[in-house]
Amino acid sequence: MFNFLFKNKVRKYTFSGGIHPKENKHYTEECPIEKLPLPKIVYIPLSQHTGKIAKPILKVGDKVKVGQLIGEADGRISANIHSSISGVVKDLKELPHPLIFSRVLTYVIENDGEDIWEENIKKEFVEKDFSSEEIIEKVHKAGIVGLGGAAFPTAVKLSPPKEKVIDALIINGCECEPYLTNDYRLMIEKPKEIILGALLLKKALEKNSKNIRLIFGIEDNKEKAIEIFNSYKKEYNFEVYTLKTKYPQGAEKQLIKAILKREVPSGGLPFDVGVVVQNVGTAYACYEACYFDKPLFERVITVSGNGIKEKKNLLVRIGTPVKDIVNYCGGYVGEIKKIIFGGPIMGVAIYSEDMPIVKGTTGILFFNERDVLLEKEKDCIRCGRCVEACPMGLLPCELHKFIKKREFDKARDYSLLDCIECGSCAFACPAKIKLVQSFKFGKQEIWKKEKK
Amino acid sequence: MNEKLIVSISPHIRSDISVEKIMWSVVWALIPATIGAGYFFGIRAIVLIIISVVTALISEYICNLIFKREISIFDGSAVITGILLAFNLPPQVPFFIPIIGSFFAIVVVKQLFGGLGYNFLNPALAARAFLVASFPQTMSASYTAPYYGTISGFDTVTQATPLSAIKNTKIMGTPEDLEILLDKATSWESLKNLFFGNVGGCLGETSAILLLIGAIYLLIKKYIDYRIPLSYLLTCFVLSLIILPIKRFPNYHIFQILSGGLILGAFFMATDYVTSPITKKGRIIFGIGCGILTMLIRHFGGYPEGVSFSILLMNVATPLIENYTKPRVFGKK
Ligand code: SF4
Ligand code: SF4
């Protein structure tokens, strides 16, 4: 009799802690991905990934094509860098970087307007079987890194140590940061491509492990995406997990916990519990790298925030400066106060409109005065909201107290190093204490001491 | 480079909750009971509350100046302390009592320890304890009957609050007297008076319903955590089942919950952020501790009611409780 009550009931998974910020995805979730017109000049830093900076292999004055290798991965944890336009290398010098606070060796390439692609990039899709080695090789060559923001070289992630048996590959479609819709649009517009890419990632991992489960984890605010992926799951043999919309659901550890109930040990990696997590955008990039031999020189970003006139999802070439995007999106609204690379909770505020899009840029948010509340810090009132919000089970207010008193050993005993800097605590704090800033500082002090 | 761009560390958005918002909401939540105090005890009650609040604000302001701290009189916390202190005073105390009490609460208990967030005792309760110790006569003899009822809520003769009437009879009366008294005290009529506040007592503690209106608002807004009041009241109720004769169930047990400022204490004083544990488990233990102490003091101790001393004792135990209730760190153990 009450069956109708349960008909639509889907089991939803989650983790403990976390916050519910206003999603603000409605601005762009219905905006199809548009191609940004090619920029006149691109700035391509040689470091866009976790690990060692790539080695430059071109000189000033050299001609380049789209997709041509211009920086070579240096060592095991590093990634190739490719040109994103065709034209001439104008300069190779140290320039400001959007994510790193020092200057980084950067190619300045001027567009010749021809958009000539490397010959070996294929034009058509041909079905094919790849071996694990082939896939890892192609992913490495294409310079693919984690596109969810972390920018860890994907080829490395696909080569876990031999003794680690992997039994699950999770494709992260949570996109738990407010405003961002780039992954969502990709899931809706290119589901099949993402699935093929995910199958390649799975195949790559099968070098050492058999019977790997392929799981898509998607937050329940993306109903359409869940529906689409569910419709493919029989055909391609994967699972779809519906996750509660809660920040930071997309953080690796929280995602694994929610889906598999496994906890990555303190100081450990997903490998340690037999899991690899990849972002949907990364899966798509792998699809392109394997079937088309297309290197990673463009990506989808979300452009949003009150400070920009037209909010969009854009396919942009890596190295495009922010101001080109501002121009394309109709300019600013009001006086712009903050530009953020990434989401509003973990993103990085940049100080110049000349900053280029890099591989790990998921979106750009423009905030005008109304959004940027620079509220004064007050003393902690011990309300415990930070404790409730912390997905890692830490006591943020206590950690902050120790760091303020420079008692770094105490902070360490209270597991400061387990903090994932997700910002949930600072978001929730009514005293507006800059907790994340404090924790970054505290960690640096601990590491400094350790080096000595 | 654009000079106007703000470069700050993440996060770039914050929840819209603030210290002021929380504190002022608590003030609003205390308004029904404040109006109730005026209704039951007359304009004098309102004057006492105003004196207490004004003294708290002036003391806070002077301390801000002396200690060179940011002016904090607008954050609402001093107003709360003022109201709560007055709520814990009998209606007939002379006007100098709230002045001394508020001054003590703000200066000695709060500001000397560093201001909001640093005190380890609840300022209003510590000040009340100070007043009881310094002016025992005044503090115990200043009770009056409310306008529309009697002081005990069930008997015109007795000159004390419901709980102290029982205590006194237990000590001095015969068992028969006690039986008669208990029959009256636990009648539905008496419980009704307790629920609506038509009994003698401190200014703000008498009306359960008016306090609950405010408390429910705070609970819905999540400005107070349900864990402390729930575990506190449940513990009191369960212990009363054990200690008290079952023959008067449930009236006598409900009577325990409604009398002696327990509702005021459980929802508005034990929940004070600064002086209660920050951990979830810690809050439950805190509430249970308050409940055990309250019932022990009431039934075996020298005072008729034990809410304020229990909470103060648990305030002292808070750091210890926190230390043993740290949440499990993700990926450890
Ligand atoms: S930033 Fe660190 S301390 Fe704060 S909620 Fe996230 S993990 Fe916890
Ligand atoms: S949320 Fe802020 S005010 Fe509340 S306990 Fe944590 S640090 Fe203190």
Chain B residues in contact with A370 by the CB 8 A cut-off are none
Cα separation of the two ends of chain A:
70
What CA–CA distance (Å, rounded) separates B299 from B140?
19
Which CATH superfamily does the domain covering A125-292 fall into? NADH-ubiquinone oxidoreductase 51kDa subunit (3.40.50.11540)
Q: What pLDDT score does B162 carry? A: 82
Q: Check CB contact under 8 Å for B332 and A430.
A: no
- Contact of A47 with A54, CB cutoff 8 Å: yes
Predicted confidence band of residue A1 (pLDDT cuts 50, 70, 90): very low
- Best probe residue, ligand 1, of A380, A425, A427, A437 (max atoms within 8 Å of C-beta): A425
Predicted confidence band of residue B173 (pLDDT cuts 50, 70, 90): confident
What CA–CA distance (Å, rounded) separates B308 from B125?
6
Q: What pLDDT score does A8 carry? A: 56
Helix (H) or strand (E) holding B192: helix B188-196
- Amino acid (1-letter code) at residue A196: L
Q: What pLDDT score does B3 carry? A: 67
- Output DSSP code: residue A366: E
Q: What pLDDT score does A274 carry? A: 95
Q: Is A424 a pocket residue for ligand 1 (Cβ < 6 Å)?
A: yes
Place of tokens 């140590």: A161
Q: Check CB contact under 8 Å for A350 and B7.
A: yes
What is the SS3 assignment for A145? strand
Q: In the predicted model, what is the mean pLDDT of residues B205-218?
A: 95
Q: DSSP of B269-312, one letter per residue? A: ITT-TTTS-SSHHHHHHHHHHHHHHHHHHHHHSSSS--HHHHHH
Domain boundaries, chain A: 33-120+295-368, 125-292, 385-451
Determine how many CB atoms are found less than 10 A away from the CB of residue B258. Answer: 22
Q: What pLDDT score does A375 carry? A: 77
Q: What is the pLDDT of residues B273-332, one digit of tens each?
A: 999 999 999 999 999 999 999 999 988 887 777 899 999 999 999 999 999 999 999 998
Q: What is the pLDDT of residues A326-374, one digit of tens each?
A: 999 999 998 899 999 999 999 999 999 999 999 999 999 999 877 666 6
Q: In the predicted model, what is the mean pLDDT of residues B187-200?
A: 88
What CA–CA distance (Å, rounded) separates A175 from A165?
27
* Per-residue pLDDT at A195 exceeds 80: yes
Q: What pLDDT score does B142 carry? A: 82
Q: What pLDDT score does A442 carry? A: 97
* Beta strands, E only, A128-279: 168-173, 213-219, 239-243, 275-279
Q: Check CB contact under 8 Å for B279 and A395.
A: yes
- Amino acid (1-letter code) at residue B107: V
CA distance readout (Å), B74 to A400, B30, B46, B80: 25, 17, 21, 11
- Output DSSP code: residue A326: H
**% pLDDT > 70, chain B:** 97
Residue of A194, A74, A80 lying closest to A143 (CA atoms): A80
Q: What pLDDT score does B187 carry? A: 87
Torsion (CA) A396, A178, A146, A291 in degrees, nearest 10: 160
- Contact of A226 with A240, CB cutoff 8 Å: yes
- Best probe residue, ligand 1, of A15, A436, A440 (max atoms within 8 Å of C-beta): A436
Provide CATH code, domain A33-120+295-368: 3.10.20.600
Place of tokens 């007592």: B201
